Amino acid sequence: MIRIDGQPILDAAQMRAAEAQTIAAGTGAEALMARAGEQVAEQVRRLTAGAEVLVLCGPGNNGGDGYVAAAALRRAGHAARIAACASPTTAAASAARAAWMGPVEELGNAAPAPIVVDALFGIGLNRPLGAEICEPLRHLIGNARLSIAVDVPSGVSTDDGSSFAEVPAVDLTLALAAVKPAHVLQPSAARCGDIRLLDIGVEVSGPVRVASAPQLRPPSARDHKYSRGLVAVVAGRMPGAAALAATGAGRGGAGYVRLLGSATDRLPHAIVRQRFSAEALADERVGAVVIGPGLGRDDKARERLDLARASERPMVIDGDALHLLGEAPARVPTILTPHAGEFARLFGDLNGSKIERAIAAARRANAVVVFKGADTVIAAPDGRAIVHAHAPAWLATAGTGDVLAGVIGAQLAGGADVFTAAANGVWLHAEAARRAGPAFIADDLAAHLPAALGACL
C-alpha cells in the first residue's frame, strides 16, 4: 500500500488510456484484474484477522476485482462470501466470476458481515444509483466493523467528486493504479476514509498531483533578513486581518515583515509598521506584497491595490482585493487566493471539476490560483495543479485565510516560484492547523507555523 502524497491524479479517461497502454504493451486486462484483486485480498487479509468478509460485486471490472479478491481470500483460508447486484458484463469480470467456486448471493438479500468490501462500481459509474443498490449498500456498510472500497466508493463521480448516491463513508479506499479526483475532491473525498494506492503495474503520470510535504531549506550562514525575504503586507479598513497576515508571514519563515497602513496594538514587535505609500512598496528588497486581508472595498482600498500592482512586486491577492480586481491578466508573478464565494464571483462561468475550473481560472488570470476549501486546489496557467485534501476542518474559522495569505507571501519573498510558494504555504498552513488541535482561533494558528516549518527542513 502506497501513501497518496505527491501521486499523480488521473480522471477516468486518463486512467483508461494508461490502462490501454499497459494492455497494448502486453499485459492483458485479466492479468491486471488479477493483480488488482489479489492485492486487495492481501490488504483485506492483513487488516481483518480472520473475520468473515462479504465482497459486493457489480457488473463491470470493479466487480471483477471483487470476484478475484474473494477467491484469493478463500484460497488463503479466509471466510469470504460474495453478493452481487447484476451478472458480469465484461469478459475479464465474467472470467473472474467463473473462477469463483462459491455461491453468489443477491445484494438485496445479503446478511451483514463484520468486513465489507465494496466492489460494486468503480470509475465506470456514470449515473445515479437506484434504491435497489443504495439501500442494501447503506445497510451493509452501516453494519460492518470495517468497510473497504475497491478503487473508489460506489456512488461517487470519479472525475468531479460529486455524489451519485447518499451512502455512508467507508473506512478505507484502495485506489487502483492512480489517485482519481474523487479521492481528493469533496464531497466524495469525505466518503473514502483513509486512502491507499495499490501499484498494479500501470504506469501513470500527469500534471495534476496530490499535495506533498515541501522540502524547505534552513537559512545558511550567508543569509540575512533581506535574503530570507521581505514581505510587505498592505493594511486597510480592518487592521486585525492584515495583522493576522503579517503574523502568518513572520512565523511562516519571512526574514522581515512590514505592515503598511494602520496596525493593531497587539502586533508582534518584530513586525515593522510603516505608513502606506508608493515609496514603501517601491523598495527593491520587497520580495512579496500581500494585499486583501481587511483591505476594504472603498476608493482608498482600490487606490492601494492599484499602487501595489504598479509596484510590479510579486503579489499575493486575497480577500477584499479579489473583489476589486478587474479582468486584466496579471503582468507580474501573482497568486490569487479565493474561497468558493470569491472564486464564483471572479470565475463563475467556468465549468468542470474544481481542478479543471482552478486551472482554467489560472490561465485566464495568468496567475497561480489557490482555490481554497476542504479540498484546496493550487493551479498554474501551464496546467499544473496540486490538490490538498486533508487539511483539518477546524480551519473553518474566521481569519485563517488571512494567515494563509501571509504564509504564502513569506514563501514567495523567500525565493520560491509562485506555484511552489502557494503549494508550500497551503501545506504549512494545514500542518500548523493539525498541530493547533481542535477549536483554535486564527490568532492561535501562526504560533504553530514554526514547528510545521521545522518538520519540512
Q: Which segments are annotated as binding site?
A: 61-65, 118, 122-128, 151, 154, 241, 294, 339, 372-376, 401-402
Q: Give the nearer residue to ligand NPW in terms of CB position, either 33 or 107.
A: 33
Among 157, 372, 419, 440, binds ligand ADP (CB under 6 A): 372
Q: Which residues contact 271 (CB under 8 A, 6 or more apart)?
A: 243, 246, 247, 250, 257, 258, 259, 263
User: In the structure grid, which three cell numbers stand for residue 26, read together?
Assistant: 502486453
253 binds, among ligand ADP, ligand NPW, K ion, none (CB under 5 to 8 A by kind): none
* HSE-up (13 A, CA, CB side) for residue 322: 26
Give the C-alpha separation, 9 to 135, whole Å.
30
127 binds, among ligand NPW, ligand ADP, K ion, none (CB under 5 to 8 A by kind): ligand NPW
Under DSSP, is residue 90 helix (H, G, I), strand (E, B) or coil? coil
Asked if 157 is part of the footprint of K ion (rule: CB under 5 A), the reply reads: no
Applying CB under 6 A, the span of 117-125, 293-301, 385-393, 416-424 interacting with ligand NPW comes to 117-125
Identify whether the C-beta of residue 319 lies closer than 8 Å to the C-beta of residue 343.
no
Among 4, 36, 243, 403, binds ligand NPW (CB under 6 A): 36
Asked if 71 is part of the footprint of ligand NPW (rule: CB under 6 A), the reply reads: no
User: In the structure grid, which three cell numbers stand for residue 81, read together?
Assistant: 462470501
Asked if 118 is part of the footprint of K ion (rule: CB under 5 A), the reply reads: yes
Distances (CA, A) of 361 to 210, 304, 333: 19, 24, 15
Asked if 376 is part of the footprint of K ion (rule: CB under 5 A), the reply reads: no
Among 186, 209, 191, 213, residue whose Cα is nearest residue 374: 186
x/- binding map, residues 173-212, to ligand NPW, per CB under 6 A? ---xx----------------------x-x----------
Asked if 399 is part of the footprint of ligand ADP (rule: CB under 6 A), the reply reads: yes
Identify whether the C-beta of residue 211 lies closer than 8 Å to the C-beta of residue 388.
yes
Asked if 180 is part of the footprint of ligand ADP (rule: CB under 6 A), the reply reads: no
Asked if 15 is part of the footprint of K ion (rule: CB under 5 A), the reply reads: no
Asked if 428 is part of the footprint of ligand NPW (rule: CB under 6 A), the reply reads: no
Q: Is cis: bond before 187, omega within 30 of 0? A: yes
Asked if 131 is part of the footprint of ligand ADP (rule: CB under 6 A), the reply reads: no
x/- binding map, residues 77-96, to ligand NPW, per CB under 6 A? ------------xx------
Q: Which residues contact 412 (CB under 8 A, 6 or more apart)?
A: 229, 231, 287, 288, 314, 316, 333, 335, 418, 421
Applying CB under 6 A, the span of 123-131, 317-325, 331-339, 390-398 interacting with ligand NPW comes to 123-131
Give the C-alpha separation, 228 to 456, whole Å.
16
- Supply φ then ψ for residue 356, to 5 degrees: -65, -40
* Binding-site ranges for ligand ADP (CB under 6 A): 319, 339, 372-374, 376, 391, 393, 395-396, 398-402, 404, 429
* Binding-site ranges for ligand NPW (CB under 6 A): 15, 19, 32-33, 36, 58-65, 89-90, 121-129, 150-151, 176-177, 200, 202
